[in-house]
Amino acid sequence: MRFSVSLQADGDREFTMDEVIELADAVAPLNGIASGYGTYSYGAQIVVDAPDSDTAVDIALEQFAQALIGRALPDWPVARAETIAEEDDFADLDEIE
């Protein structure tokens, strides 16, 4: 099953536009998007294949950490992780029709 996993790392200063671009480059291979400009945190939403939500978070955390290796980004701890299953996300669209 595919999950979209949102991760947020909290820090002690504002995250810059250059850092958001660096983060976006890091997570792009993971079908990811980046966020955080002007906030005291940065985040990414990435897509993983996993049998359940808990495993999806574990996989996403590992992939996220690997993607940041060698990047000029602050080493802030991940404070929040949320998942949504792809089938649940598309179920919302069915209700609109």
Instruction: Give the domain ranges of the chain.
Output: 2-96
Which of the following CATH numbers is that of domain 2-96: 3.40.50, 3.90.550, 3.30.720, 3.30.70?
A: 3.30.70
What pLDDT is recorded for position 41?
97
CB 40 within 8 A of CB 10: yes
Give pLDDT tens digits for 29-75.
999 999 999 999 999 999 999 999 999 999 999 999 999 999 999 99
Query: What's this model's pTM, rounded to 2 decimal places?
Result: 0.85
Q: Give the integer Cα–Cα distance in Å for 67 and 5.
A: 15
Rounded Cα distance between 6 and 15, Å, is 17
